[in-house]
């Protein structure tokens, strides 16, 4: 069975090729445009200058879709990472702001999401970590710009796990952080608490049988709470490229058992900025605080007032923009 984003991937030539007409494009898959009305006006993709350009990166036989914005005279590059309820193009608001302040961005559609297809039997959470680690290599080789990771939702944990493996990452920004190995964390991120306890035990104990089972993310996660605006939550939950996708049970099993290369207590590779939404009903802020407190690196935590898990509300969005730009400015200056 293939992922919901498209058919099985056909390997292509090495490197990036943005010119192959048969590959799906966001010109055709334009559901992402419906998100624009929910974003602050200054963060919308309105024209060619604020709409990412599409590229393809051949990686391990997969045709990974990349969105790029900015780049000319950039001092630093931000790799923007989505979670299990979105995909690279939905992250465009972060790229619009970054470009305005002189930073380049690249936003991948991680395997199984957006326009990046993957064989059903190969999709697991470890593939996401490997993909972003190799993307860091690729981007550093491409232009040498220092790399910062910006992870939204599950992308925050992913950003940490990549930085734990690669000390060349200059900094990490995350909207949430949690340790999926903790039962309380698994129960909190699951739509039904039993999925994080007995459900996880069954997935692990019966993995030869259950790994290939298709699971709808909108029903196993709290996708209904991704935003405090019911209309935006409904859009995410119905978008088959993102929150409305189906994933193999293997993806959740490997996510819930994922151990970082370096535990937070020993992590000192780079500074971390945690910008957790203050009205997050999808991931308890206490999970982020606990993970944050364990970190040994230079760190700062900002609570975004009035913002939900997918932050679109003020004043939280303005607070996030100010704190992230200050963080990036300090890194670029160093």
CB 171 within 8 A of CB 331: yes
Handedness of CA 262, 266, 268, 272 (dihedral sign): positive
- CATH class of the region 32-182+263-333: alpha beta
Name, in order, each residue with C-beta under 8 angstroms of 96's C-beta and a sequence gap of 6 or more: 42, 43, 44, 45, 50, 69
> Digits of tens for pLDDT over the chain (334 positions)?
333 444 333 333 333 333 334 589 999 999 999 999 999 999 999 999 999 999 999 999 999 999 999 977 899 999 999 999 999 999 999 999 999 999 999 999 999 999 999 999 999 999 999 999 999 999 999 999 999 999 999 999 999 999 999 999 999 999 999 999 988 888 888 876 667 667 777 888 888 998 999 999 998 899 999 999 999 999 999 999 999 999 999 999 999 999 999 999 999 989 999 999 999 999 999 999 999 999 999 999 999 999 999 999 999 999 999 999 999 999 988 7
Tell which residue, 247, 260, 322, has the closest CA to residue 291. 260
Handedness of CA 217, 254, 273, 74 (dihedral sign): negative
Q: Compute the distance between CA of residue 193 and CA of residue 34 in angstroms, rounded to an integer.
A: 32
Q: Is 273 helix (H, G, I), strand (E, B) or coil?
A: strand
Name, in order, each residue with C-beta under 8 angstroms of 72's C-beta and a sequence gap of 6 or more: none
Write down the pTM of the prediction: 0.91
């Amino acid at each position: 069975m293939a992922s919901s984003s498209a058919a099985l991937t056909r390997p292509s030539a090495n490197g990036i090729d943005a010119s192959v007409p048969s590959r799906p494009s966001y010109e055709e898959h334009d559901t992402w445009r419906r998100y624009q009305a929910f974003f602050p006006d200054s963060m919308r993709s309105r024209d060619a200058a604020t709409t990412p350009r599409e590229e393809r990166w051949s990686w391990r036989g997969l045709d990974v879709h990349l969105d790029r914005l900015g780049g000319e005279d950039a001092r630093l590059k931000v790799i923007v990472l989505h979670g299990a309820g979105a995909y690279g193009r939905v992250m465009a608001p972060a790229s619009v702001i970054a470009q305005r302040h002189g930073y380049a961005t690249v936003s991948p559609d991680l395997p199984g999401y957006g326009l990046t297809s993957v064989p059903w039997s190969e999709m697991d959470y470890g593939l996401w970590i490997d993909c972003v680690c190799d993307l860091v290599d690729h981007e550093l080789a491409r232009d040498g710009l220092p790399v910062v990771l910006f992870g939204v939702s599950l992308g925050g944990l992913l950003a940490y796990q990549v930085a734990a493996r690669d000390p060349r990452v200059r900094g990490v920004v995350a909207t949430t952080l949690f340790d999926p190995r903790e039962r309380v964390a698994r129960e909190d991120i699951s739509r039904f608490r039993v999925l994080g306890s007995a459900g996880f035990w069954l997935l692990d104990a019966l993995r030869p049988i259950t790994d290939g089972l298709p699971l709808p993310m909108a029903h196993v996660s709290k996708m209904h709470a991704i935003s405090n605006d019911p209309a935006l939550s409904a859009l995410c939950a119905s978008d088959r490229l993102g929150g409305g996708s189906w994933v193999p049970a293997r993806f959740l099993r490997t996510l819930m058992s994922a151990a970082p290369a370096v535990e937070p207590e020993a992590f000192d590779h780079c500074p971390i900025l945690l910008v957790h939404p203050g009205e997050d009903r999808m991931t308890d802020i206490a999970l982020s605080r606990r993970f944050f407190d364990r970190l040994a690196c230079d760190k700062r935590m900002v609570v975004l007032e009035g913002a939900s898990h997918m932050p679109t509300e003020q004043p939280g969005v303005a607070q996030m923009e100010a704190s992230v730009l200050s963080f990036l400015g300090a890194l670029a200056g160093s």
